[in-house]
Amino acid sequence: AQKVTQAQTEISVVEKEDVTLDCVYETRDTTYYLFWYKQPPSGELVFLIRRNSFDEQNEISGRYSWNFQKSTSSFNFTITASQVVDSAVYFCALSGFNNDMRFGAGTRLTVKP
């Protein structure tokens, strides 16, 4: 069975701090995909990144970076120099062989001015 764990329910930081959101996953599939989505207060789900299980390269996109480590089954997300607009719920998700996507419970990030 596939499972995604986001142990941090809520995180609060002050603007300009760096923050890392943790994601740990479980799967028996050898080919799988990991995702991060952002859900701002307005409620929509915004796709941030997709990573396949064969690509362990870290990725950076502006202030966002992702660290994928198969050895620890983790796919962590770091926001550098956080801003108030980063306040949202962030979901990590895992999709395996049968495309059955499983989401973590989400981490609510609050960035205070």
74 beta partners:
24, 69
In whole angstroms, what is the distance from residue 79 CA to residue 16 CA? 9
Which positions from 63 to 82 touch other proteins by CB under 8 A, shown as an x/- string? --------------------
For the chain, give the longest Cα–Cα distance: 43
CB of 104 to other proteins, least distance (A): 6
Which positions from 19 to 58 touch other proteins by CB under 8 A, shown as an x/- string? --------------x-x-x-----xxx-x--x--------
Residue 102 in the binding site for other proteins (CB under 8 A)? yes
Residue 60 in the binding site for other proteins (CB under 8 A)? no
Q: Which stretch binds other proteins (CB under 8 A): 13-21, 59-67, 69-77, 92-100?
A: 92-100
CB neighbours of 65 closer than 8 A, spacing ≥ 6? 58, 59, 77, 78, 80
Cβ count within 10 A of residue 10:
10
